[in-house]
Amino acid sequence: MTARSVLKELQSLGSEGTKKILMRHDAREPLFGVKVGDLKKIQKRIGVDHQLALDLYDTGNYDAMYLACLITDDEKMTKAQLRKWARQAYGGSLSGSTVPWVATGSSRGWDLALEWIDSPKDNLSAIGWSTLSSIAMVRPDDELELPKWRQLLRRVKREIHKAPNDTRYAMNGFIIAAGSGIAELFDEALSIAETVGEVFVDHGETSCQTPFAPDYLRKVQSMNRIGKKKKTAKC
């Protein structure tokens, strides 16, 4: 299977309705408007194909880039490749979800996330915080440097309300992920969430909302899911 043949299939699966929805969520041309469910069917058929993933991402087509993140071998991604993917992830699910998923699946993700959160570019900084959130929800606590995570929580407390739009949203998600995924950090994350309060994010012409972190954390606690890990960041 080649990138060209996959693009042809993606084109046949696209719809104007889905395309309009994706573009309201910051996707942009070129894209066909393929539903995530259809992308996952292709993922299931392909499995893992690292070279095909690299080729698909290089097309610049939004649907192909999303699929690339689902079929790549995360651990084979070099730092240079991850940096390239992050630079090209201009917004939407690419920067908010799929590229952070790939970085999380790589042993290089932690170092790169710390690099990205210092970027003055909103999309890169958001990718960094989203990667850290995914790491919190996936990696065992004994693999995490908890003093560093506490420093990151305190940094969010200081900077969130003056951070750019996408970064602000990702930082709010980080508070939730750190408190939900790392049991020892729950109390501190909840305290910081209450201090931070409501986080205002411009979601454009969508119905998306920004979770209120204190309520979200208490809901996870009430479900007895604090510290429960996921098998993989990808979903």
Handedness of CA 108, 114, 120, 123 (dihedral sign): positive
Nearest-angstrom CA–CA distance, 127 and 124? 5
Residue 190 pLDDT class (50, 70, 90 cuts): very high
pLDDT of residue 221: 98
Segment 159-180 shows an average pLDDT of: 98
Q: What is the pLDDT of residues 101-120, one digit of tens each?
A: 999 999 999 999 999 999 99
b (16+ CB within 10 A) / e for 52-86: bbbbbbebebbbbbbbbbbbbebeebeeebbbebb
Read off the pLDDT of residues 75-100 as tens digits, 9 standing for 90 and up: 999 999 999 999 999 988 999 999 99
Query: And the tokens for 165?
Result: 């739009």
What average pLDDT does range 161-178 have in this prediction? 98
Assigned token pair, 223? 């479900």
Asked whether the predicted pLDDT for residue 23 surpasses 90, the reply is yes
Task: Find, among 85, 66, 82, the residue nearest to 25 by Cα.
Answer: 66
**Which pLDDT value is given to residue 203?**
94
pLDDT, position 136: 98
Report the pLDDT value the prediction gives residue 235, as an integer from 0 to 100. 84
Which pLDDT value is given to residue 68? 98
Mean pLDDT of 135-151: 97
Per the CB < 8 A criterion, the answer to whether 63 and 14 are in contact is yes
Q: Given the structure tokens 């980080």, which residue do they identify? A: 174
pLDDT tens digit sequence for 31-56: 999 999 999 999 999 999 999 999 99
Residues 101 and 55: their CA atoms lie apart, in Å, by 18
CA of 191: how far to CAs of 46, 107, 187, in Å? 45, 31, 6
Alpha helices by DSSP H, listed for 118-164, are 122-138, 146-159
- How big is the chain, counted in residues? 235
Structure tokens at 112: 């790169």
